[in-house]
Amino acid sequence: MFFLSWQIESSLMNRFHLICRVRSAIACAVQWGTQQVTHKVRHAWSNRLLWVVSCCGLMALFTLIWEIGWPLNQAMLGKIQLFTWGIVVVAAIAELGLTLLEKDRTYLLRAIFLLALPVVAVAQLLFGETVMSVLGVIVPKQTVPTLALGVVQFTLILPSTVRIIRWMRDQSWFSRIPPGLLGVISFALAITAGAAFLMTPNATYQPIHWIDAFFTSTSAVCVTGLSTLNVETQFTFTGQAIILVLIQIGGLGVMTLTYFLALIAGQGIGLRDRVALRDLLSEDNLGRVSSFVWHIILATFLIELAGILLLHHFWAPTHADPSRLWWDCVFHGISAFCNAGFSTYGDGMMNASVINNHGVHVVIMLLIIAGGFGFALFTELLRYFYARLSNVWIKQQRLLPRLSVHCRLAALMTIILLVGGTFGFVISGNSWWEALFNSVSTRTAGFNISNFGAHGSSALVVACILMAIGGNPGGTAGGVKTTTFALSMLEVRRILRGLKDLRLWDRRASRDAVEKSLVTVVLSIAWISAASFLVGMFNTAASHGDIVFECVSAFGTVGLTRGLTPILAEPSKAVIILTMFAGRIGILTFVLSLAGPPKPSNYRLPETRVPLG
């Protein structure tokens, strides 16, 4: 009996455990299914809200383009303002919904920022006249409401732009694009967008042709300064502002600004992006690339701000029109730092208000040198001199950082070119002050305090040499670059002296860098020769010296001219556009982007000797 009862009890217990396991499995299955359904629902709603935010950004972009490009009366501007604030509210609600669904603090911060924007509207209503009086000192008062609205719209456009960038970076086809070709594409897109903006009615006093719009946009993005149109008389304030934005984009680099937007949005920079930026910015340490982008933007803002304030201080006593003083200072300060050479005056720095103002000349020269020196090199020098000053003044026995060969070579070449260029211009007949300014400006800046059309042949030769060499790598300057020219000349010296290696202080230059330098110089000479031939073929009345000067100026992204730019034929304008583009991108990068990356061979053929003379 006991055994039978034990069997019955054991059987019941087994059934009970089986039932519990089945119930547990069913509960887990139900819970898993519920979680899956909840996850799918949450994912679906997140996608919908993301589409809402993206549509808000797209509508804000369209309204911003409308405001910038086409004239609006007060009634229409009021409707656009009301529509924009409606978009802000919708975007803020969508960001709050994304915060609840995704549990991501980034969405919450965006929502709070968007909800804070109505405070701007209230402040505009309460202090509108005060704000207009303050900002009207820099820009025309009638544009202040449109400017404030544009700032609000940009806050809606930025998140959508960053999401598009992140989506593109996640695509397989994007990862197959070489970094050099990516830079070419980004500059081409910026130039096309700039030309489209310059074609809008608000940008010019009279309609212009597409070829002139592309020429001006290319010159601005490539920070050259050549223009077939008079910036002072042809372009309105809106048109000049568009040119200034293009100059800033071109000076910093489209890719630098793109990755900066990604950093602002908290997206970070991947390894491939770091490699591309390392080559673009001449920063060898991959780990410092992200922080380096921040430093570039911050340093650019601070240097340009200091330059603008100094320009205002020195320019105020001689400026003819106080109502446009601040705008002229902003435009020339940014243009000088970016080595662009654009001016709000048709005669540039030869204008009566500034031609004899040496204080303004000094500020312009300092901005040109700072912009063309190179961001990485500038940072390295600051670290070095900070350590030296700390040892002298604070009595810290800090180990001095070693200056890289790149930094020493670039700094030495900068000094040699500035001093040598000054003496060259003095020998050619310039005064000492004019020679110093021309020596600084011809290295890709393009400002002039004298008429280059009146200079003799010897001065033009000196100018062409300086324009072709340009500034340092990683800066806003163009040309073949100082280090490229130095390595090429030192390689010639090595061959003539029969040395085995090219020595740079206590180091040996890599053969890859030397070979690329020689190829860059040869390609540059070939491009300038071909461009000069084509321009001469289409402009038969122009002198040979003016044609060569124009092409060298375009290739070096300098912007100086002997009066040929306004009378260029249509095909010649296209040639100069391509020349400015190739000079800003870098001739080697441009050619490799078109021809494709080199394919190294796995074998070597037998050697043969070819007579050389």
Q: For the chain, what are the domain ranges?
A: 27-174, 414-595
Distances (CA, A) of 404 to 83, 295, 355, 467, 560: 55, 19, 39, 26, 33
Going by pLDDT thresholds of 50, 70 and 90, the confidence category of residue 267 is very low
User: Sign (positive/negative) of CA torsion 526, 529, 533, 538?
Assistant: positive
Work out the percent of the chain whose per-residue pLDDT is above 70: 74
What token pair was written down for 51? 């589409």
- Predicted pLDDT at 399: 66
Strand (E) or helix (H) holding 504: strand 503-504
More confident position, 406 or 254: 406
Question: How many CB atoms neighbour CB 514 within 10 A?
Answer: 18
Question: Alpha-carbon distance 101 to 582, whole Å?
Answer: 48
- Predicted pLDDT at 564: 92
Three-state SS letters, 124-192: HHHHHHHHHHHHCCCCCHHHHHHHHHHHHHHHHHHHHHHHHHHHHHCCHHHHCCCHHHHHHHHHHHHHH
Q: pLDDT tens across 141-170, in order?
A: 666 666 666 767 777 777 777 677 667 766
The residue type of 374 is G
pTM of this prediction? 0.84
Tokens 């540039």 correspond to what residue?
A: 348
DSSP assignment of 226-268 equals --SS-HHHHB-HHHHHHHHHHHHHHHH-HHHHHHHHHHHTT--
The residue type of 517 is S
Going by pLDDT thresholds of 50, 70 and 90, the confidence category of residue 30 is very low
Nearest in space to 80 (alpha carbons), one of 90, 65, 94, 95: 65
**Mean pLDDT of the region 605-613:** 79
The residue type of 98 is L
Question: Alpha-carbon distance 278 to 508, whole Å?
Answer: 22
Tokens 């084509």 correspond to what residue?
A: 534
Question: Alpha-carbon distance 55 to 42, whole Å?
Answer: 20
Going by pLDDT thresholds of 50, 70 and 90, the confidence category of residue 280 is low
Pair 401, 386: CB distance under 8 Å: no
Pair 478, 471: CB distance under 8 Å: yes
Going by pLDDT thresholds of 50, 70 and 90, the confidence category of residue 200 is very high
Q: pLDDT tens across 498-554, in order?
A: 888 888 888 898 888 899 999 999 999 999 999 999 999 999 989 989 999 999 999
3-state helix, strand and coil shares in percent for the chain, rounded to the nearest 5: 75, 0, 25
Going by pLDDT thresholds of 50, 70 and 90, the confidence category of residue 454 is confident
Asked if the model's pLDDT at residue 25 lies above 90, the reply is no
Question: Alpha-carbon distance 384 to 613, whole Å?
Answer: 49
Phi-psi category of 600—alpha, beta or left, where left has phi over 0 and alpha has psi -120 to 50? beta
Residue 424: partners with Cβ closer than 8 Å, 6 or more residues away:
435, 439, 458, 459, 462
Q: pLDDT tens across 330-350, in order?
A: 999 999 998 888 999 988 899
What token pair was written down for 446? 């393009």
Pair 110, 88: CB distance under 8 Å: no
